[in-house]
Chains A and B, each alone.
Chain A
Amino acid sequence: MWEILLTRYNYVVVALLLPIGAYMMIENRNLVKKVIGMNIFQTGIFLFFITSAFREGGSPPLVGSGGEGATYVSPLPHVLILTAIVVGVSLTAVALALIVRIYTEYGTLDEVHLREVRADE
């Protein structure tokens, strides 16, 4: 049991990050913290992809590194995750821009309070 946890700690962290992020998005009343939860959720997925690319004793996929007959690591997951990180950054930017507008309009970032303010409209 402990051995599995210690040798596969990356997967354990992935399995922790995903529910933590999802829980923050659902349960937290603060809109900014919801966005942070979204980021944590996505980070879990990034880590999963990167972990899947790990090879014991693998060399970086560069010409000349590792020498003859070396095992090279697949560069594809890293490239994918770079793309996904860019997507994540743009999503965060749009979300924060929307939050700024919500704050100037209603003067609150608390979800419950926001619902009360909007019910009065």
Chain B
Amino acid sequence: MSELLPLLVAVPILGALVALAVGYKFDRLAWPLTFATSLAHTALATLVAVQVYSRGDPLSYAVGGFRPPFGIELVVDGLNAAIVALVALVALGVLVYARRAGPHSVAFYTGYLLLVAGLSGMSVTGDMFNLYVFLEITGLAAYALVATGDDGRSAVGALKYLLIGTVGASLFLIGVGYAFVATGTLNMADLAEKLAATGYGSTLVRASFAFVVTGLAVKTALYPLHTWQPEAYASAPDSVSALISALVSTVSAYALARVVYSVYTVDFLASVTLAREFVLVLAGVSIVAGSVLAVMQSELKRMLAYSSVSQFGLVVAAFAVANEAAVTGGLVHLVGHAVMKGGLFLAAGAIAARTGARYVEQFDGLAARAPLLSAALAVLSLSMVGVPPAVGFVGKWYIALGAIQAQSWPIAVIILLSTLLTLAYFLRLVERMYFRSAAPTETPADSPTGTGAAAVADGGEANGVTDDDRPILGRGDDAAFGGHSVSMVAVVVVAAVLAVALGPLVSVFEPLLEPTLELLLQQ
């Protein structure tokens, strides 16, 4: 069954090439081809996840027949099987949404599949340099996707993302270089042994840890290194911001966990207390600063972006606490956050398509105009705050439990505090939607971030915006895709239902995860 692992990367790349080649001539075929590829990818990922959890053993594949530690190894164990399945499922959901919401260019579908390939590669690889390469593939696809918006703003956002993202990946590469100089190997499992043999006191080893963690922290968008994120998320088309907010930072955070546990191991964290404190402080500052900045935002997508900064602080804090409860919580919150934040961005996009509301003050009385979308938005928001039984609560609960077990009282306090701040910025949204009446004269703002396609995807409701005069630059024939936004609303509702349903399911998932965590966390 391990022969399936390279297909996880190869299928989306092949699909991207086919979609590009065929879409060049027949651009209406691009979406069905992309959808078929994504469906095949989801089937593969599900099969791999089921295999791993039913066997309890990791799957491993030597690329090109070169045996590890010399060749590149692909590994899926209990930790990343969930991430692989998450990447495939979220990508499929966003693709269904993008059918109506756009962008409809062939370039978008190609970039989308390349992003999926890069993310799958990051999730399954067992080699440090290979991780760098997939990190850059993911990055390149993400920069290109952010720039698919048809105004200059998205190009500026993408360039800023590119410059900072490249520095992050380069720092990661320096860290890999130091580890390579210290040990002469790049395979993760082999590195773990050889780093231990070199000694955790070695300056080379400590410096490599610092560079690798800082590099991945840029990609995960922890507080002082997050500056690319709000601009990139706010300026990208809605489908793209949902996709990258749900997946890119998530997989980077997973990579951080993978590197900390599988390469440097818990022993390193235990023996170099400065390293653990460094990560904990970075995460703690990120939780508080992200929430405070989110409260200050008036644009919804920017607020959601800053909220991500805070939530990923929470996840990284969990990984630094490094006991079983905290890591379970970290993984649950990682998966839950992807569903919730992806859903929130999709809901924001669907609401903007229907009513033009992109700023928080435009949400007055929205519940009366778009009841289903408002309900989904409210459910996702409350789940993000951590109202039981939603998945946001379960993740936070485990992380707080782990922090208390590890006697990290500051982290436990910060988690509770951040919940209040999260409530502060989501509650004002819910309050505006349900307890205020709409402003009398309603002129939907000509949104600076619209994808062009958003304008025609209004579902034909009474309050729909139809400004067909907008110039559509290279987006293909949008009118052909117009019509009801049923699929958009359906995807948002499914995300909301999932956010609630995943919470109780964690008790099923936890025993499956336990053997992997025991292996990773043994000292």
Please name all residues of chain A whose beta carbon is closer than 8 Å to the beta carbon of B143 when the two chains form the complex.
94, 98
Partner of A41, one of B152, B162, B167, B186: B167
Bound CA span A25–B174, Å:
18
Instruction: Give A22's nearest chain B residue, CB to CB.
Output: B167
Binds A, one of B25-33, B153-161, B346-354: B153-161
Total interface residues on B, CB under 8 Å, equals: 29
Q: Is the CB of A52 within 8 A of B181?
A: yes
CB distance from A102 to the nearest CB of B (A): 5
Q: Is the CB of B129 within 8 A of A121?
A: no
Please name all residues of chain B whose beta carbon is closer than 8 Å to the beta carbon of A106 when the two chains form the complex.
152
Bound CA span A22–B414, Å:
33
Check: A90 CB closer than 8 A to any chain B CB. Answer: yes
- Chief secondary structure at chain A's binding surface: helix
Bound CA span A101–B153, Å:
10
Bound CA span A42–B169, Å:
10
Check: B140 CB closer than 8 A to any chain A CB. Answer: yes
CB distance from B132 to the nearest CB of A (A): 8
Partner of B174, one of A45, A101, A121: A45
CB distance from B125 to the nearest CB of A (A): 14
Determine which residue in B151, B170, B173, B181 has the highest number of CB atoms from chain A within 10 A of its CB, and name it. Answer: B170
Q: Is the CB of B170 within 8 A of A90?
A: no
Given contacts A91-B140, A118-B153, contact A98 B177 (CB under 8 A): no
Check: B144 CB closer than 8 A to any chain A CB. Answer: yes
Binds B, one of A1-9, A56-64, A65-73, A79-87: A79-87
Q: Is the CB of A98 within 8 A of B147?
A: yes
Q: Is the CB of B162 within 8 A of A94?
A: yes
Given contacts A42-B170, A48-B177, A102-B156, contact A94 B136 (CB under 8 A): no
Check: A20 CB closer than 8 A to any chain B CB. Answer: no
Q: Is the CB of A45 within 8 A of B170?
A: yes
Given contacts A48-B174, A98-B159, contact A91 B166 (CB under 8 A): yes
Please name all residues of chain A whose beta carbon is closer than 8 Å to the beta carbon of B424 when the two chains form the complex.
none
Check: B515 CB closer than 8 A to any chain A CB. Answer: no
Bound CA span A98–B170, Å:
20
Check: B448 CB closer than 8 A to any chain A CB. Answer: yes
Given contacts A45-B174, A48-B174, contact A80 B129 (CB under 8 A): yes
Identify which of residues 119-145 in chain B touch chain A, using a CB-to-CB cut-off of 8 Å: 129, 132-133, 136, 139-140, 143-144
Given contacts A42-B170, A45-B174, A101-B147, contact A94 B140 (CB under 8 A): yes
Please name all residues of chain A whose beta carbon is closer than 8 Å to the beta carbon of B159 when the two chains form the complex.
31, 95, 98-99, 102
Partner of A91, one of B136, B152, B158, B177: B136
Please name all residues of chain B whose beta carbon is closer than 8 Å to the beta carbon of A101 when the two chains form the complex.
147, 152, 155
Instruction: Give B176's nearest chain A residue, CB to CB.
Output: A80
Check: B180 CB closer than 8 A to any chain A CB. Answer: yes
Bound CA span A121–B151, Å:
12
CB distance from B248 to the nearest CB of A (A): 16
Given contacts A98-B159, A98-B162, A105-B152, contact A41 B177 (CB under 8 A): no
CB distance from B108 to the nearest CB of A (A): 15
Please name all residues of chain A whose beta carbon is closer than 8 Å to the beta carbon of B155 when the two chains form the complex.
98, 101-102, 105
Please name all residues of chain B whose beta carbon is closer than 8 Å to the beta carbon of A35 when the two chains form the complex.
163
CB distance from B149 to the nearest CB of A (A): 10
Bound CA span A30–B398, Å:
48
Bound CA span A25–B167, Å:
10
Partner of B163, one of A38, A74, A80, A121: A38
Identify which of residues 73-121 in chain A touch chain B, using a CB-to-CB cut-off of 8 Å: 74, 76-77, 80, 83-84, 87, 90-91, 94-95, 98-99, 101-102, 105-106, 114, 118, 121
Bound CA span A42–B170, Å:
7
Bound CA span A28–B180, Å:
33
Partner of A52, one of B167, B173, B180: B180
Please name all residues of chain A whose beta carbon is closer than 8 Å to the beta carbon of B151 when the two chains form the complex.
105
Bound CA span A18–B98, Å:
41
Identify which of residues 400-423 in chain B touch chain A, using a CB-to-CB cut-off of 8 Å: none
Please name all residues of chain B whose beta carbon is closer than 8 Å to the beta carbon of A48 when the two chains form the complex.
174, 177
Q: List 24 A-B contacts (CB under 8 A).
A: A25-B167, A38-B163, A41-B167, A45-B170, A45-B174, A45-B177, A77-B180, A84-B132, A87-B133, A87-B136, A91-B140, A91-B162, A94-B143, A98-B147, A98-B162, A99-B159, A101-B152, A101-B155, A102-B159, A105-B152, A105-B155, A114-B156, A118-B156, A121-B448
What 10 new A-B contacts, CB under 8 Å, besides A38-B167, A94-B162, A98-B158? A25-B167, A38-B163, A45-B170, A48-B174, A52-B181, A87-B133, A91-B166, A95-B163, A102-B155, A118-B156
| A-B CB proximity, top 4 nearest | A105-B152, A101-B155, A98-B159, A87-B136
Which B residues are within 8 Å of any A CB, using their own CB? Answer: 129, 132-133, 136, 139-140, 143-144, 147, 151-153, 155-156, 158-159, 162-163, 166-167, 170, 173-174, 177, 180-181, 184, 186, 448
